[in-house]
Structure formats: C-alpha cells, structure tokens
Amino acid sequence: MKAKPQLHFLSHDQIHKEKWDACILASFNGLPYAESWYLDLVSPGWCAITDAEYQRIMPLPVKKKLGIPYLIQPLFVQQLGIFSTKQLDAAVIQAFLAAIPGRYFYIHLHLNTQNHLLHPAAINRNHELDLIDPYAILRAKYKENTLRNLKKAKKNGLSVVKHVRPESIVQLFRNDRGLQVTQWGESQYTLLLNLLYTGIHKNRMDTYGVMDNKNTLVAGAVFLKSPKRIIFLFSGNSTEGKKSGAMPLLIDRYIEDHADMHLTLDFEGSNDENLARFYRSFGSTAIHYPTVRKIRLPGCLQKPVLRILPR
C-alpha cells in the first residue's frame, strides 16, 4: 500500500513563492493560472496545501462572506487543482481534497485535466491544439467552415496586427458579448485590465487584433503564455468582425506564428456546443476536467459530502 503524502496547509504569508513557482514550472501539468503572480491578482490572500518539498501543491483561492471564508474558482481562471512534479493518482488527489481545512464552509473549484478521480459524476470540456507540427500540416486539419471564413476575411481586406492595447480589446467585448455578462461590473473590468497589463509587463501576454480596410479594429484577443502552453485567455469581437471572419483570421495567424514549436494552444473551453464546434474547426482535441463542490453546514446538520458536478 502506498503511503499517503504528508501534506501541510499554508496561509498566504507562509507560502514560499520561489519554490511554488519552481514547482509549477517543473510540473507535468503546470498551468500559468497557478503561478504566484497570477494568483496574487485574481485571488489576493490565496492559501495552499503542499507537501514538504513543494513537489505537489494545490492553491486554495479564498474569499469571505460575512467574515466566513470559503473557496471559489477565481475569475479568469479555468482550472486549478493539484500540480505535481511526481506521478498523480486518484488517491493523491483525494488526499489533497481531504486536507482542505474544515473552516471553509463552501468549496467550488475546477481541478485540472490531470486530476483524475475514481468516480467523477460529471466533467467540463476544454479544447487543445498541439502546435508541434509545421503550419501547413496544422492548417490541413482545419474544417471546411474555417477555411471558408479565412477566404472571406481575405476578400474583405482584413489584416492582423500585434501589440493591440488591452483597453481596445476589452471595449470590443463590452460593446458585444459583455452586454449579456450582466454580473460583471467596473471592478471585474479593472481586475481584467490589471491582469492584462501585468502579464504584458512580464512578457507573458500577447495581444492580437484584426483591422478592417478602414483601419478600424474589429476583433482582438489576448493569449496567456507559459513555456509549455498558450491560453486563449480573452477576446472581443464586433458585428462587422463576426460577419467578415475576423476571429478565425486572428486565431489562424496566431497558430501560424507559433507553429512548429513544443507548445499547446489551449482554447479555454467550452461546454457551450457552438464554441466547442468553433474550436474543433481548427483541429483541436476535446479534453476534460472536473469541478469539485462541497458544502459544510454547522454542527451535525450535514455530513460533508464530496461531489463532482458540472461547471
């Protein structure tokens, strides 16, 4: 029988961030969301569970309601969970989950694709594209609809530019899809811009845009970079951009610029079938990750039960 890992809960000021980031960088399942600089922005005061050597770690994004702490997936973070330089199995994953202190009355976290559980009841969907092949091979896997959109974009005189101002991309979003995202207020957009500018300062973000033949920005996107992975973090589009094939052109250009590299393009979604179809049209592969939700009621009103629920 394998020994259970010796795990420790660490408050924010106890976390050794250099060791933390070294683990994320060396982990076989490392994600840029889990780097300390990113967590500091999206979840100030985050805590953690680690082993003694920082070879297996789990961030705990803490929030409070009426003074009571709880754990919830931060905005602009698709996956967290357990990251490891060693082999992970279901027993180790369960040991980490069991080590979460009982002070957190509510837990709602998305684990990562390598955090396999013995009996998951439901899972979320993501899409990834391996960029190791030359561009010609990658493009040959595009679906016919994407190829048609690329021809449409060329016919409409669209062009791709780099180093677009984050505010311009965010404004495109606010004028379009953001109108339906009513739960976002100024604080969420301020956080987003802070995150984007910090990432740019650290050379961890790329911003691409699409201009029409009148030199007007009609679409834009932000990509979060790490040594192994690029995440399609955020995008904005316009009515004209949708009609003229702007976003397919932008993504195609980004793939072309990063083809023939040991990188994975992570489309960051989606459970929405229309978006999933769009991401698959670039030849990406569907992968999955679980969501953990746990509710603890005071006293003996309810025995804690761990469930895997859809996002």
DSSP string of 194-210, one letter each residue: HHHHHHHHTT-EEEEEE
Q: Where are the CATH 3.40.630.30 domain residues in the chain? A: 126-288
Which of 82-91, 158-167, 228-237 is predicted least confidently?
Answer: 82-91
- pLDDT for 5 equals 75
In the block, residue with structure tokens 């076989």: 28
Q: Check if the beta carbon of residue 168 is closer than 8 Å to that of residue 217.
A: yes
Q: Rounded to whole angstroms, what are the CA distances from 135 to 192, 214, 258, 260?
A: 31, 29, 8, 7
Which of 99-103, 213-217, 305-309 is predicted least confidently?
Answer: 305-309
**3.40.50, 3.40.630, 3.30.479, 1.20.140: CATH of 7-123+290-308:** 3.40.630
> 195 pLDDT band (50/70/90 cuts)?
very high
The per-residue pLDDT for range 231-283, each reduced to its tens digit, is 999 999 999 999 999 999 999 999 999 999 999 999 998 889 999 999 999 99
Residue 252, Cα to own-chain centre: how many angstroms? 20
- pLDDT for 92 equals 94
Residue range 126-288 forms a domain whose CATH class is alpha beta
> 118 pLDDT band (50/70/90 cuts)?
confident
Tokens standing for residue 26 = 């060396």
Average pLDDT of span 70-81: 97
For residue 11, pLDDT over 80 is answered with yes
Q: Check if the beta carbon of residue 136 is closer than 8 Å to that of residue 260.
A: no
For residue 309, pLDDT over 50 is answered with no
Q: Check if the beta carbon of residue 286 is closer than 8 Å to that of residue 113.
A: no
For residue 122, pLDDT over 90 is answered with no
Closest C-alpha to 9, from 87, 85, 69: 69
- pLDDT for 307 equals 44
For residue 310, pLDDT over 70 is answered with no
Cα(34)–Cα(43) distance, integer angstroms: 11
For residue 297, pLDDT over 50 is answered with yes
- pLDDT for 311 equals 35
For residue 306, pLDDT over 70 is answered with no
SS3 242: helix
- Rounded to the nearest integer, the mean pLDDT of the chain is 93
Tokens standing for residue 223 = 């990509």
> If you average pLDDT over each of 2-16, 59-73, 284-298, which comes out highest?
59-73
- pLDDT for 308 equals 40
Q: When comparing pLDDT for 81 and 302, which is higher?
A: 81
